[in-house]
A and B are shown apart, each in its own frame.
Chain A
Amino acid sequence: NAGVTQTPKFQVLKTGQSMTLQCAQDMNHEYMSWYRQDPGMGLRLIHYSVGAGITDQGEVPNGYNVSRSTTEDFPLRLLSAAPSQTSVYFCASSSRRGAGDNEQFFGPGTRLTVL
């Protein structure tokens, strides 16, 4: 198993550009989440999904869109990038099975810089 994969690893955008961060998992996990990591603030939840076709907002959703058309993929879209979105983005997945034991598995991250 590859686990959780993210592409690209690095990206530089100009203000106003759009892009999609890709996330895929091969563990057949129902749950997937996107977090951003900023210095001194830990990780904050952007959006999450409890299954294909179901998404919801987390703590910091503004400026981001998500969709979940398959169990495996959970892309994060920036429609109009802003410098405040410069961050490291992590995707995570976990299984609904084994209630109460939902360890989240994290991808390697995407480092995004918006100029």
Chain B
Amino acid sequence: AQSVTQLDSQVPVFEEAPVELRCNYSSSVSVYLFWYVQYPNQGLQLLLKYLSGSTLVKGINGFEAEFNKSQTSFHLRKPSVHISDTAEYFCAVSRMDSSYKLIFGSGTRLLVRP
């Protein structure tokens, strides 16, 4: 079975500061990794995904994430955040043979302050 841990339930940060949202996963098989963003009262939007290849993945809105197999981590980073980045961020994994079944972390609320 797979599991995802997002240790930080909320991350407050000032505008234009860098941010890192942490994600660790557990799985006995190879997985795909995803970050989704949810703006208030909306559905989920894919930020980026790691399927294979380069461990540094770039996504939309200036976000990037690095896959670290030895540490089973997939942390999300942005060098300079904006007020508009305030949202909830979800890390998710899926097995390679059943990528339609996502296992989500509990989410991290990013709060960007002016």
Contacts and interface: CB of A to CB of B under 8 A. Distances in A.
A93 to B, nearest CB: 9
A100 B44 CA distance: 20
Contacts of A40: 9, 106-107
Contacts of B90: 42-43
A104 interface: yes
B44 A90 contact: yes
A50 B36 CA distance: 22
Contact of B100 (A41, A90, A102): A102
B29 to A, nearest CB: 14
Given A43-B90, A107-B43, A100 B100 contact: no
Interface secondary structure of A, over-half rule: strand
B46 interface: yes
Interface of B: 4, 6, 9, 32, 36, 42-46, 49, 51-52, 90, 92, 94, 96, 99-107
Given A43-B92, A58-B101, A100-B32, 19 more contacts: A4-B43, A33-B100, A33-B102, A41-B106, A42-B4, A42-B90, A42-B107, A43-B44, A43-B104, A45-B102, A90-B44, A92-B44, A94-B99, A100-B51, A100-B96, A102-B99, A103-B49, A107-B43, A109-B42
